[in-house]
């Protein structure tokens, strides 16, 4: 429990943090990777290069400083980050390293303001936050371990199938080498891979959405090839059927939980459909009696992953309603069969069918796409608690 004086001091540094902005976290990561290069095997360096990770960390630090007297406000962020951390197998000792570099960064960037009292207050504040994460992550590790078919740490899986799903996405079917069962997960969650190969400059941890309902035997993930993507390029080009991968248990705070009488609307853009695939698969396997709406937008048929699966599901489930947008259809793409509308997704054209006060809406895709979805649904008066979304990579608010 932080004392009043510590809270006051930390909150007094908010203007300093705001003036530093991401220069603070850029400096932090540079000094940490310089002094602890082993952490390059943990952090996604592509997100470092793009600036997304420093920006996400700065937002988190600033939010903590502003709400240090009311940490309950940050509970959703803590849950999301804790799930991410378990996918990287983060351990308590690593929090001490991060804390050291955070305090040293404050000293180096603001030597005049970084009085012993300020540094001591931030040390106490960081320690309190670290203990929250350590405690929650240990709970998640234990929950994964204690499930039927569960485990802690990495477990060897073999690639049983590798299937091209459109031009950019490949799905992988993974089964445990030991032949045992695998733990169930909540549709929408992701699987954590620890990639280690002589062809990789560093070990890489990556999270890929699970794209079929749990079955207790195997997991199916989908991987989009990203431009200059180190891990996605490795998965596409080097990983073959019969190869083994080191896998950590499923995790993630984005998942579907609905009652049987709840209409469900699944909205996706591009590779954002992958977590929705598991949700749809689960709903159909459970014979969900309420209406299900599948709305998807992509470039054209060549980029439309899982297209044949969707067409088959649409034919065999009367309560599944689909609407697909192609931005630039090819000559071989058939209207009313492959796609329903041209251009970007326009929810107002389908408002009459999907605007339900009792529905839950799940969406994922590029950030502008998700911002559009949230803005549109909010403008319709859909309650905030019925809107659920996932940002791939470091989290950003819509």
85 is in an annotated binding site: yes
Q: Is the dihedral of CA 150, 152, 156, 161 positive or negative?
A: positive
393 is in an annotated binding site: yes
For residues 121 and 6, the answer to whether their CB atoms sit within 8 Å is yes
Environment class of residue 40 by beta-carbon count within 10 Å: exposed (0-12), middle (13-18) or buried (19+)? middle
275 is in an annotated binding site: yes
The structure tokens listed for 122 are 């931030």
Q: How many whole angstroms from its chain centre is CA 102? A: 25
* Cα 110 from Cα 13, distance rounded (Å): 11
Q: Which residues are known catalytic residues? A: 95, 137
**Residues whose CB falls within 8 Å of the CB of residue 97, separated by 6 or more in sequence, listed in order:** 32, 36, 39
10 is in an annotated binding site: no
298 backbone dihedrals φ, ψ, rounded to 5°: -155, -175
242 is in an annotated binding site: no
The structure tokens listed for 41 are 């095997």
190 is in an annotated binding site: yes
Identify the residue whose tokens are 């400096």.
27
381 is in an annotated binding site: no
258 is in an annotated binding site: no
391 is in an annotated binding site: yes
* Cα 345 from Cα 294, distance rounded (Å): 12
For residues 314 and 332, the answer to whether their CB atoms sit within 8 Å is no
54 is in an annotated binding site: no
Binding residues for heme b: 85
Residues making up the annotated binding site for FAD are 190, 206-209, 391-394
Binding site per annotation, positions for NADP(+)? 270-275
């Amino acid at each position: 429990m932080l004392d009043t004086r510590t809270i006051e001091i930390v909150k007094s540094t908010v203007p300093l943090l705001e003036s530093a902005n991401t220069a603070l976290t850029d400096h932090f990561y540079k000094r940490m990777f310089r002094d602890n290069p082993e952490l390059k095997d943990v952090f996604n360096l592509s997100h470092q290069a793009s600036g997304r990770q420093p920006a996400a960390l700065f937002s988190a630090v600033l939010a903590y400083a502003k709400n240090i007297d009311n940490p309950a406000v940050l509970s959703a962020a803590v849950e999301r980050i804790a799930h991410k951390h378990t996918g990287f197998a983060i351990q308590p000792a690593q929090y001490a390293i991060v804390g050291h570099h955070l305090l040293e960064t404050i000293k180096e960037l603001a030597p005049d303001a970084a009085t012993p009292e300020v540094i001591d207050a931030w040390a106490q504040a960081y320690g309190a936050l670290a203990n929250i994460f350590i405690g929650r992550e240990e709970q998640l590790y234990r929950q994964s371990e204690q499930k039927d078919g569960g485990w802690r740490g990495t477990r060897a899986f073999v690639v049983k199938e590798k299937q091209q799903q459109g031009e950019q996405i490949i799905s992988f079917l993974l089964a445990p080498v030991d032949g045992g069962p695998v733990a169930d997960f909540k549709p929408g969650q992701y699987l954590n891979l620890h990639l280690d190969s002589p062809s990789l400059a560093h070990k890489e941890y990556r999270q890929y959405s699970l794209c079929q309902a749990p079955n207790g035997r195997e997991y199916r993930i989908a991987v989009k090839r990203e431009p200059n993507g180190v891990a996605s390029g490795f998965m596409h080009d080097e990983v073959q059927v019969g190869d083994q991968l080191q896998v950590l248990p499923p995790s993630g705070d984005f998942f579907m939980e609905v009652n049987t009488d709840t209409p469900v609307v699944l909205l996706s853009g591009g590779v954002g459909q992958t977590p929705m695939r598991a949700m749809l698969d689960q709903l159909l396997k459970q014979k969900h009696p309420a209406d299900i709406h599948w709305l998807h937008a992509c470039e054209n048929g060549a980029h439309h992953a899982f297209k044949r699966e969707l067409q088959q599901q649409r034919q065999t489930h009367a309560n599944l309603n689909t609407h697909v947008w192609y931005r630039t259809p090819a000559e071989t793409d058939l209207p009313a069969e492959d796609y329903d509308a041209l251009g970007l997704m326009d929810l107002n054209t389908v408002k009459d069918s999907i605007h339900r006060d009792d529905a839950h809406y799940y969406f994922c895709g590029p950030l502008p796409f998700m911002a559009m979805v949230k803005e549109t649904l909010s403008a319709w008066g859909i309650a905030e608690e019925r809107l659920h979304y996932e940002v791939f990579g470091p989290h950003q608010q819509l």
